[in-house]
């Protein structure tokens, strides 16, 4: 099963050409589950819906309740921003969590959960977007605390491990990422461990999803780093849901256009028990 996370950079830059580049990339990758951040809706069309139609997938999205700063940055009102899930299989239950922002800027960030009715077993799938300012680590720690509890609440009753995707705006050794994982420090929820899929990557493979080689990212004058993630719960019976591979994708121009200011992360998860599993 192929899982992808991607921040698609709302309506910034040459967005019409970019959305074609995003669609072309996703068509080539043939994903089963996709978590998207910074998805736009202009009242007549939704980027996630447009992509789902192109890809033949099911979809849902959740709008931010504070799009004002986005409007100021773009100079255009009336366009919503939010998070979305695309899936090869039907969507069952759905829930959202408004993330806390005390002590930081309130951009209306949230987490979106769907139960995906995959063959053989449902999958608890999540996508989210955390606060972005470099100095907001404490805010992100509070958001991760709420997020971990949300995952625990909605990730029960399926043998397949939970899958959490998103733009966390934090580096792998940060307090918030260690706290979310729950295996490099005490977990928020006792017994909960969410493995960073990138731990299974080829150590020599490029991993920065915010990369100054991307001209859109270079404009911000911040250092490169890996800030987009796929986290997976403990493997189920026989190792189902275990990470088989992971790599950076969407990390170059398509027909001369960079799809986003972020690269995407693609992980392949096992859907069958391994030969030695129990």
pLDDT in tens, 172-201: 999 999 999 999 999 999 999 999 999 999
CATH number (domain holding residue 23): 3.60.10.10
Question: Residue 192: CB partners within 8 Å, gap ≥ 6?
Answer: 148, 151, 152, 182, 233
Give tens-digit pLDDT for 48-104.
Answer: 999 999 999 999 999 999 877 877 787 778 899 999 999 999 999 999 999 999 999
Residue 278 lies in a domain: no
What is the pLDDT of the chain when averaged over all its residues? 95
Percentage of the chain beyond pLDDT 90 is: 91
Strands 123-129 and 91-98: unpaired
What value does the mean pLDDT take over residues 114-127? 96
Residue 277 lies in a domain: no
Residue 276 lies in a domain: no
CA 217 to chain centre: 18
CA atoms within 13 A on the CB side of 127: 28
Q: At 236, is the pLDDT very low, low, confident or very high (cuts 50, 70, 90)? A: very high
Q: How many domains does the chain have?
A: 1
Q: Cα(241)–Cα(95) distance, rounded to whole angstroms?
A: 22
Give tens-digit pLDDT for 135-186.
Answer: 999 999 999 999 999 999 999 888 999 999 999 999 999 999 999 999 999 9
| The pLDDT of residue 277 | 41
Question: Domain containing 50: what range?
Answer: 2-269
Quick check: 278 pLDDT over 60? no
Q: At 275, is the pLDDT very low, low, confident or very high (cuts 50, 70, 90)? A: low
Residue 275 lies in a domain: no
Residue 254 lies in a domain: yes
| The pLDDT of residue 67 | 77
Q: Cα(159)–Cα(161) distance, rounded to whole angstroms?
A: 6
Residue 274 lies in a domain: no
> Are 124 and 158 spatial neighbours (Cβ–Cβ below 8 Å)?
yes
Residue 166 lies in a domain: yes
Is the whole model's pTM more than 0.75, yes or no? yes
Tokens of 162: 């939970």
| The pLDDT of residue 214 | 98
What value does the mean pLDDT take over residues 206-225? 96
Percentage of the chain beyond pLDDT 70 is: 99
| The pLDDT of residue 74 | 77
Tokens of 182: 């729950």
Q: Find, among 156, 69, 143, 88, the residue nearest to 111 by Cα.
A: 143
């Amino acid at each position: 099963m192929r899982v992808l996370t991607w921040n698609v950079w709302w309506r910034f830059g040459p967005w019409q050409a970019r959305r074609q580049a995003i669609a072309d990339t996703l068509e080539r990758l043939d994903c089963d589950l996709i978590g998207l951040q910074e998805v736009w809706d202009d009242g007549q069309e939704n980027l996630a819906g447009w992509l789902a139609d192109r890809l033949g997938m099911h979809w849902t999205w959740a709008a931010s309740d504070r799009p004002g700063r986005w409007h100021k940055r773009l100079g255009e009102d009336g366009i919503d921003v939010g998070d979305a899930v695309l899936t090869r299989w039907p969507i069952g239950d759905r829930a959202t969590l408004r993330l806390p922002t005390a002590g930081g800027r309130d951009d209306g960030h949230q987490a979106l959960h769907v139960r995906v009715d995959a063959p053989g077993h449902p999958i608890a799938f999540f996508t989210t977007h955390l606060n972005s300012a470099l100095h907001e680590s404490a805010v992100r720690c509070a958001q991760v605390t709420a997020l971990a509890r949300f995952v625990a609440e909605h990730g029960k009753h399926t043998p397949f491990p939970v899958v959490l995707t998103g733009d966390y705006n934090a580096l792998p050794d940060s307090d918030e990422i260690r706290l979310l994982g729950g295996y490099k420090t005490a977990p928020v929820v006792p017994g909960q461990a969410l493995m960073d899929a990138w731990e299974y990557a080829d150590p020599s493979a490029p991993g920065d999803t915010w990369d100054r080689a991307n001209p859109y990212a270079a404009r911000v004058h911040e250092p490169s780093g890996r800030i987009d993630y796929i986290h997976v719960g403990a493997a189920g019976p026989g190792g189902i849901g275990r990470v088989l591979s992971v790599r950076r994708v969407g990390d170059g121009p398509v027909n001369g256009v960079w799809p986003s200011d972020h690269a995407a992360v693609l992980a392949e998860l096992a859907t069958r028990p391994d030969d030695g599993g129990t």
